[in-house]
Amino acid sequence: MPSAQEIVQSFEELRTIPHIALRVCQLISHEETTIRQIEETIQLDPVLVSRILRMVNSAYYGLRKPIASLPKAIIFLGLKNLRNLVVIDALRGVFLREQSNGTFSRKQLWIHCTAVGVCARMIARRLLGRTGEDTFLAGILHDIGLIVEDQTHEALFREVIERYRAGTGLLIEYEQELLGTDHCAVGEALAARWGFPEAVQQAILHHHTAIEHEAELQQMPAVLQIAHHIANTAGYQAFSEKTDPPLGIIVDHIQQQAVEYQALTEAFCKEMEKAARLYEDEGI
């Protein structure tokens, strides 16, 4: 059976993700990179320049005066937010490219991933006092391994989903049985290849790992699991027919802070309505 790294290598050989987008993400991950280097790299792809400007000037950001130049857009966004928009732009085309085999809906999975990212960032900001941009990235990418598996091992992946829907086990259990790995490990390997922060890699790897202590609830993997549960409850499931049950410690934690999470959930639903065009519309 192939390793997670071998599956990622096969995925990269398909050239699914634009090279310039990957290069921009890698540059941003290095502290010595200059704004000028990032700007020059983005300018190699005029379509990406146009999309960044359209996203910055979208209703989501609500600017009174439009931003007309890439340098100003970069300064306005900040590097981590820019990185996240580049990732969104690159992945949106992959997720929204529906498969004809009827295994699952890539669009539904993309909406689920963006919902988890948005909710995770809100938890980081509102409840943990963090900026949340790395947490958002981890949320956006947490299920990217499913797309990689579908792209590289379509027949086996289809069987994984069929068994998952018909059975009582967890998704990762069927993945490990048929593929020898799971989307958590594949996603972590891909995030490492793309040069994303170690914390993001580990959050992707452990977003289905059991949580044993309350102290872990403030760490990024647990934040993803909390966001995952809230997103699912709000109707943003990855699969319509079935979803893995949340850990008991996650449910207890939310119940213990019911007032805070009720307010956060209401704000999250409004944020998803506001962000829908930014995350879902290919034509933006």
Q: Whole-angstrom Cα distance, residue 30 to residue 116? A: 26
pLDDT of residue 283: 45
**Which pLDDT tens digit goes with each residue over 78-121?**
999 999 999 998 898 788 776 655 678 888 999 999 999 999 99
pTM of the predicted protein model: 0.92
**Which pLDDT tens digit goes with each residue over 56-65?**
998 888 899 9
Q: Whole-angstrom Cα distance, residue 189 to residue 202? A: 10
CB neighbour burial string for 134-169, b if at least 16 within 10 angstroms, e if fewer: bbbbbbbbbbbbbbbbbbbbeebbbbbbebbeeeee
Q: Six-digit token pair at 126?
A: 């509102």
Q: Whole-angstrom Cα distance, residue 152 to residue 25? A: 23
What's the chain's Rg over C-alpha atoms? 18
Q: Whole-angstrom Cα distance, residue 163 to residue 64? A: 51
DSSP 8-state class, residue 245? P
**Which pLDDT tens digit goes with each residue over 145-189?**
999 999 999 999 999 999 999 999 999 999 999 999 999 999 999
Q: In 3D, which of 120, 134, 141, 88 has the Cα closest to residue 230?
A: 120
Q: Whole-angstrom Cα distance, residue 135 to residue 204? A: 10
Domains of the chain and any CATH numbers: 4-280 (1.10.3210.10)
Q: In 3D, which of 250, 246, 137, 127 has the Cα closest to residue 199?
A: 137
* pLDDT mean over 208-224: 91
pLDDT of residue 102: 65
Q: Six-digit token pair at 24?
A: 């921009």
